[in-house]
Structure 1
Amino acid sequence: MLSARTARRIALCTTGAATLAALTLGGLVVLDRTFPPPLPEKLVVSAEVVDRDGQLLRAYATPSGHWRLGVGLDDVDPALVKMLVAYEDKRFWEHEGVDLLALGRAAWQFASNGRIVSGGSTLSMQLARLIEPRAERSFSSKLRQLVRAVQIERRLSKQQILERYLTLAPYGGNLEGVRAAALAYFGKEPKRLTVSEAALLVALPQLPERRRPDRNPNNAQVARDRVLGRMVTAGLLGEAEAARAALEDVGTTRLALPAMAPHAADLALRNAPGIVRHQLTLRKSVQAGLEAVAREAGQRLGPRISVALVMADAMTGEILGEVGSADYLDATRSGWIDMTRTVRSPGSTLKPFIYGLAFEQGLVAQETLIEDRPADFAGYRPKNFDMSYQGDVSVRQALQLSLNVPAIRLLDAVGPQRLTARFRQAGVTPSLPPGEVPGLAIGLGGVGVSLRDLVQLYTGLANGGRAKVLRDGTETSAPAPLANGTILEQQAAWQVADILAGVRAPEGAAKRSIAYKTGTSYGYRDAWSIGYDGRYVLGVWAGRADAGAVPGLSGYVSAAPILFEGFARSGLPAMPLPQAPTGALRLARADLPVTLERFSSAGQLPTVVAAAVTEPAPQIVFPPDGARVELGAASGSTSPLVLKLQGGRAPFRWLANGKPLDAIERRREATWQPDGAGYSTLTVIDAAGRAASVRVFVE
């Protein structure tokens, strides 16, 4: 039995030991908080731009010049993670940062062999060395790693430690992190690797320069095979599987990291410089195809000539592919200039909208004859591209042949202001010289638009007359939806598509059912081609970025082949053009009413006829423009609507949504039987060719 004195001594020693332990622990906590490891909340990683599906389009080096892409465990093949843990730190999931058994084994091997046989560093210790690199290898630096490893384990989860290691580990040269290494050495993300590839990526960080496969393939192969052997020992691989993996060659080429969509990627970074990951609406496969088409076309067209393309989904306005130049790095072509956004003369590419308005107003049908002869419009004398004239042609032929005089005749009738107003409804404001108002010259390219503007306008033709605002993900805010995106009524848009679908494809072009139009600006400065199917719109521009003339450059010869090739190599499925909507017909010439047999605007009538026209122009007095008419459409049985007009010269031809009514009326009153509820356009044309239209809503 202990004496009282002995008991007091034991109690005193116990208290002292407990106090010392508490002070030591408290001191360690204070030191831990005073000297924390440098663990930023977010690592400095490369900015990256990805497509709509998250695939990497373009990466940017860090300020230090390294390729270091952010990575999560979900982005890495699980087999690689298992190999890494088994090879580097098999008790990783159990220890608290330091593996005492591994350290003891390493010390014993060093004492027995006089050299380092195996290391005792854990993955946490290796992460400590990565975040605080030290050139010397000393006892103090190793001790510091031990302390840092414990600190790291107290602050990060095991998954976070692995993610940081896989982000910072060196892989040779300026490659850091497993994603950059997988892309550079194998050309793919580390999500699905072969056994051989995973083993090589496990082996590289220990001696990244000595084992670089692009410089030291033999060393890389030996290191990979060593990892495969260890995996057999650890039970992660069978001997046969490891043997098959060892037969794979180690690649000897370092690939460039993806560098697609440079103009869009640069803009995304400029608009949001603080964001690391930028997602665009582009589709990588489409972008790759269009970039290849632009690059090859630029080489084919000759030096200093660039090419730009924009492909969009007409239903949503999302851009699926955009190429700003033939070669971003080619200074002779000014490749850094984004020609999809540069304002240029559109040539004849606006003509379809002129014809569409004429169809909409009931001025012409596809087989209406129109004159292609020299004409004078108050001093403006348009000429055809080839300086020749065709005489009398159908409206269909005039648009397909892109004849200038017929287009200006129709524009004079529908009005340039109305045309530009429709452009504004579609979200595009053409560029005019300061103080100038729209004139007839805009029909032949006397206005400024960009390739993106044109594609946005043509989404209206592909989408039943309603345009969509283009977006690619570089915008700083979501584009506001169009208040009224109608550029043409549905029936008129179909008439235009039906004509453009009949334009002959360029010689040698892949067959594709598209409606398309070409254009050439004045002086052979710009060649355009823009086409669409039932879903997608593709626009092409070719020319010099400095607006220099290129003799022989034209839309049909230079740009149209690029259009068809772009559709073919986009990889997108061919979508059929829409069927004719209700009320849209293509009448034979023999079936046309007399007022639609030949187009003649009031300003172009022969003098003898003009002098004989004494009546005022026709005017529809009922229903008034914009009226809502209750005819029982909701019940499915509409009543006929009485139509009344004033003025004009009999006989009169009435049209509803571009479709002629059955009879030609000499009276100023007619009836119309609507075929359903909704908006309709009513047009009357008198014997002098003058027209009036109203738009009503039938209920």
Structure 2
Amino acid sequence: MNKLKTYVFKHKIKAVVITVALIWYAFCLPKNLFNTPTSTVITSASNTLLGAKIAKDGQWRFPESDSIPQKFKTCVLYFEDEYFYKHPGFNPISIFKALKQNLASNEVKRGASTITQQVIRLSRDGQKRTYLEKLKEFILATRIELKYSKDKILSLYANHAPFGGNVVGLEAASWRYFNRSAHQLSWAESATLAVLPNAPSLIFPGKNQQLLLKKRNRLLKKLYQKKIIDQLTYDLAVAENLPGKPYKLPQLAPHLLQKLSLSSSGKYIKTTIDEELQTQINALVESHYKTLSQNEIYNIAVLVLDVKTRNVLAYIGNSPTTKSHQKDVDIIDKPRSTGSVLKPILYSALLDDGMILPNTIVPDIPTQYGNYEPQNYNKTYDGAVSAKQALARSLNVPSVRLLKSYGLERFHSVLKQIPLTNVTFDAQHYGLSLILGGAESNLWDLCKTYAAFAGAVNHYTQTSSEYFSNEFTEPNLFANYKVDFGKKQREKPLFNAASMYLTFESLKEVNRPQEDENWSFYDDSKQIAWKTGTSYGFKDAWAIGTTKDYVVGVWAGNADGEGRPGLVGVEAAAPLLFSVFDKLPKSEWFTAPLDDMVEVEVCAKSGSRASVNCEDVIQELIPQSGLKTEACKYHYQIHLDKNLQYRVNLNCEDNSQMVQRSWFQLPPLMAYYYKAKNPFYADMPPFREDCVSKNEQLFQFIYPKPNAIIYLPKDLDETVNDVIFKIAHNKPEETLYWYLKSKYLGETKTIHEKALQPEIGDYFLTVVDEAGNEISTKFTISK
């Protein structure tokens, strides 16, 4: 130690120089050898390439990978640096031989760079080839050998070596020249890529192909002579052709690539996509697109989720249309009018709240709230229809009336809790049209919602009747991520399991497209809960379905919002939905959440809990919350005369002569439409003339509704048309007398309609029947 101190003291300058040199050597290597931009690359769950986006500098350069195929590794070592694993970064013997040969020929005939030195040269791209630069590479090569393992250095070479044109790195070259991963290459293909970085310009078809062939075959022969490959492998390898025109990289999920590149640009992303399913659905979408495009419908989107994991199994953001029809727009996350696809959420909310049971009949009659007058798709009315059938048939009027009963603000709050991210305005902005497509949502959020319902039912039946705190979790795209459903809890996530299960039971009854309408007759048919939606103006067609295991969502339309005749859910989206389900494994139907259900007596006609007046009663499983629903209000105990012809009471008939009967009777307006589609429905017999009841509601306005504001209809030529006023009477044959502001207008019989054309102003319309019963309504005629 003393000798060292003495030496340093005597040779201060030399010591300083050595110290500085050692410090420089220790820190001469950059922290990151390569700072070049890389391509965004996405793969399937099975690690198959789905697509890649070119790097910002215009190069196909995949993100670094430490995995090098053994064939390429062997080829590149025997071609570039046979003693790679033995030298310290440079090969003195090769340097000596190269100097000797180059000096003898007075020109550069042979190089002596090791793979390590080539890595340094690649990292210092753009530096001039001078003796000083060679010296720097020599020093840096020894330094990199101290920092990295040999395998890491070799992987740096494979990832950053040039392979011709704008192709950099082994994996990009493998896909560009052979259309598959480097791990799937043959000996001949691996040898071709091994010799390319030495002379990358040789790869271009028709240019120096013979030279490339000789280099490849020379390497293959060396491998044979070294007994790396046998005679047969060698013969087959040299017989293989060289690659021709570069392949386009796979683009199985271009819109998913576009989506992920926004947050993970230049990264290697292993997704949850099932490559085989994605390929199959791409083909289905292309076929469906060819059909729809004949009707000038150009855009389609499909999303498939795994209910158990919430992984995205297929992501088709758009159809293979043209640029002029917005083929690059990813529809899946774009807001579009929802049509009727929110109706199952309202149905579940009503069941959960105990406001209805599945078969509770609800009014389907002409309805007006202020200026808003909803219409059913077919412009007809059933009078009364079960809630279950109203959902299955997607009837608009019952849905609006049910939303009104449930509460617009309450339902809006439900949508915000899910959340549907595109529901951004307050409830009053949307009004009651919220349930018919007045709001916008997107395929991602809607599929997430249906998956959450399915997952909640599954979790409830698979656990001790418990839910998870995070049932409405976002779908997952990343293979290395597992969705966290939160903690188990007794508290329902939004609705109880029974309500969601019974919603699926109702949606299972939705009429399928014509080619699939007989599904229930086949034992192997898939049971699917599904719903369509069509936006106002025929601009958006939806179809979303779920089984116990999978959710499939389909949207069809035009990205620019152009509506088209025939652009309805059941025609434009549903056929594709069922084609996609055909590609998925069959699922068992949901297990009923019996712990959340109770068996009660239900009136067979009204679908409500049976009252003492209901004679036809059935046993039905309902949500426990359904015990709060009111008992049947449409059955009455009435008294008939002994001939069963007239109703009587104690004011006009002796008790011993009266016959007691239970009678199903709807209010006049409901009955007016109901009896047209239910021929066995019978109104209550009339009271005998001496027993007329003063409390019976005999007739009701169909149009207008109380306090309605009416705008006089006009033709295209501005001619003002009449307004048609209508009434429903329990006895259609009755003569009715009409008065407007006490002015007699005339009478009607059987068909109770009056055509009027009042002036602008406020009016009272009064109608009187032959017995002197009268009803009135107030309305306003406006411009």
Name the TM tier (shorter chain).
Answer: 0.7 to 0.9
Indicate the residue corresponding to 2:474 in structure 1.
Answer: 470
Measured after TM superposition, the shift of residue 180 of structure 1 is: 0.9
Give 1:429 shift: 5.8
- The answer on whether the counterparts of 1:528 and 1:555 sit within 8 Å (CA) in structure 2 is yes
Report whether the alignment pairs 1:576 with 2:588.
yes
Does the residue aligned with 2:552 lie in a helix, a strand or coil?
strand
- 8 Å Cα contact 1:363/1:599 also seen in 2: no
Q: Following superposition of structure 1 onto structure 2, how do residues 42-121 of structure 1 map, counting pairs within 5 Å?
A: 42-51=34-43, 53=45, 55-73=48-66, 75-110=67-102, 118-121=110-113
Question: Per-residue CA shift, 1:339-377, capped at 9, x if unaligned?
Answer: 222222211112223333444455555555555443445
Task: Determine if contact 1:263/1:336 at 8 Å carries over to the other structure.
Answer: yes
Query: Map of 1:227-626 to 2, 5 A cutoff?
Result: 227-271=219-263, 276-278=267-269, 280-302=271-293, 303=296, 305-327=298-320, 330-361=322-353, 365-367=357-359, 369-370=361-362, 372-377=364-369, 380-390=372-382, 393-428=385-420, 431=423, 433-434=425-426, 436=428, 439-465=431-457, 467-472=471-476, 486-508=493-515, 512-569=526-583, 572-582=584-594, 593-594=602-603, 597-598=605-606
1:504-560 CA-partner distances (Å, limit 9, x unpaired) = 432446964322111100100111110111122121111222222222211011011
Q: Shift of residue 206 of structure 1? A: 1.1
The C-alpha deviation readout for 1:142-185, integer Å capped at 9, x for no partner, is: 55544443344344432232122111111011011111111212
The one-letter amino acid paired with 1:106 is A
Cα contact 1:426–1:486 (8 A) shared by 2: no
Q: Aligned partners of 1:186, 1:527: CA distance in 2, in Å?
A: 41
Percent identical among aligned pairs is 27
Task: Give distance in 1, aligned partners of 2:119 and 2:39.
Answer: 22
Task: Give, in whole Å, the separation in 2 of the partners of 1:402 and 1:568.
Answer: 24
Whether the 8 Å CA contact 1:89–1:123 is kept in 2: the answer is yes
TM-score (norm 2): 0.66
Give the AA of the match of 2:536: Y
User: Could you say what secondary structure the match of 1:399 adopts?
Assistant: helix
Moved more, 159-168 or 332-341: 332-341
Distance 1:154 1:367, change over 3 A: closer
Query: How far did 1:219 drift?
Result: 4.4
Larger Rg: 2
3-state SS of 2:200 partner: coil
Tell me by how many angstroms 1:584 deviates.
Answer: 8.3
Q: Is the 8 A contact 2:507 2:529 kept in 1?
A: yes
Could you tell me which residue of structure 2 aligns to residue 614 of structure 1?
none
Counterpart of 1:611?
Answer: none
| Structure 1 residues 152-301: aligned runs within 5 Å | 152-212=144-204, 218-271=210-263, 276-278=267-269, 280-301=271-292
Separation (CA, whole Å) in 1 of partners of 2:556 and 2:284: 12
Give the letter aligned to residue 631 of structure 2: D
Q: CA deviation at 1:240?
A: 2.0
Where 1:332 maps in the other structure, the secondary structure is: helix
> Offset of 1:200 from its aligned partner?
1.3
Partner Cα distance (2:56, 2:48) in 1: 23
Aligned to 1:33: 25
**What is the alpha-carbon distance in structure 1 between the residues aligned to residue 393 and residue 611 of structure 2?**
33
In structure 2, the gaps of 5 or more residues are 1-6, 458-466, 520-524, 636-783
Q: Which amino acid aligns with 2:541?
A: A
State the match for 1:132 in structure 2.
Answer: 124
Going from structure 1 to structure 2, the CA distance change for 1:500 and 1:137 (only over 3 Å counts) comes to same
Q: Distance in 2 between matches of 1:358 and 1:81?
A: 65
Deviations for 1:76-122, whole angstroms, at most 9, x for unmatched residues? 21222122112211111111222122233334555677776654321
In 1, the alpha carbon distance for the partners of 2:19 and 2:629 equals 96
CA–CA distance in structure 2, aligned partners of residues 488 and 318 of structure 1: 23
| Closer/same/farther in 2, CA of residues 214 and 357 from structure 1, 3 Å limit | farther
Contact 2:272 2:476 in 1 (8 A): yes
The letter for the 1-side match of 2:574 is A
The worse-fitting range, judged by mean Cα deviation, of 198-207 and 131-140 is: 131-140
List per-residue Cα deviations over 1:491-511 (Å, max 9, x = no partner): 222222223223343244696
Residues 689 and 456 (structure 1), Cα distance of their counterparts in 2 relative to 1, 3 Å cut: farther
**Distance in 1, Cα, partners of 2:407 & 2:192:** 70
Counterpart CA distance in 2 for 1:134 and 1:457 is 54
Report the secondary structure of 2:302's partner residue: strand
Range that drifts further, 451-460 or 415-424: 415-424
Alpha carbons of 1:305 and 1:336: their partners in 2 closer, same or farther (altered >3 Å)? Answer: same
State the 1:578 CA deviation. Answer: 0.8
Counterparts of 1:307 and 1:24 in 2: how far apart (Å)? Answer: 72
- TM-fit CA distance, 1:581: 2.7
Please list the CA deviations of residues 562-583 of structure 1 after superposition, one character each: whole Å capped at 9, or x if unmatched: 21233345xx433222132317
Name the residue aligned to 1:123. Answer: 115
Distance 1:100 1:660 in 2: 86
Cα RMSD between the aligned structures? Answer: 4.3
TM-score (norm 1): 0.74
Letter in 2 for 1:202: A
Q: By how many angstroms is 1:35 displaced? A: 9.5
Superposed CA offset, 1:265-319 (max 9, x none): 444443456x734455444444444444444434432256322222223334333
Secondary structure in structure 2 of the residue aligned to 1:320: strand
SS of 1:209 mapped into structure 2:
helix
* Pair 93,370 (structure 1): closer, same or farther in 2 beyond 3 Å: same
Counterpart of 1:321 in 2: which secondary structure?
strand
SS of 2:541's partner is: strand
Give the direction of change, closer, same or farther, for the CA distance of 1:233–1:256 in structure 2 (3 Å limit): same
Question: Cα 1:214–1:335, aligned 2, differ >3 Å: closer, same or farther?
Answer: farther
Hey, what does 1:634 align to over in structure 2?
A: none
- Asked whether the 8 Å contact 1:196–1:248 carries over to 2, the reply is yes
The count of aligned residue pairs is 601
Q: CA 1:357/1:288 → structure 2, altered by over 3 Å: closer, same or farther? A: same
Q: Could you tell me how far 1:136 is from its partner in structure 2?
A: 7.1
Secondary structure at the counterpart of residue 517 of structure 1: strand
Contact 1:584 1:659 in 2 (8 A): no
1:662-677 equivalences under 5 Å are none
Moved more, 297-306 or 132-141: 132-141
Q: Does 1:659 align with 2:621?
A: yes
Q: How big is the shift at 1:254? A: 1.4
After superposition, the Cα gap between the structure-2 partners of 1:215 and 1:502, relative to the gap in structure 1 and judged at 3 Å, is farther
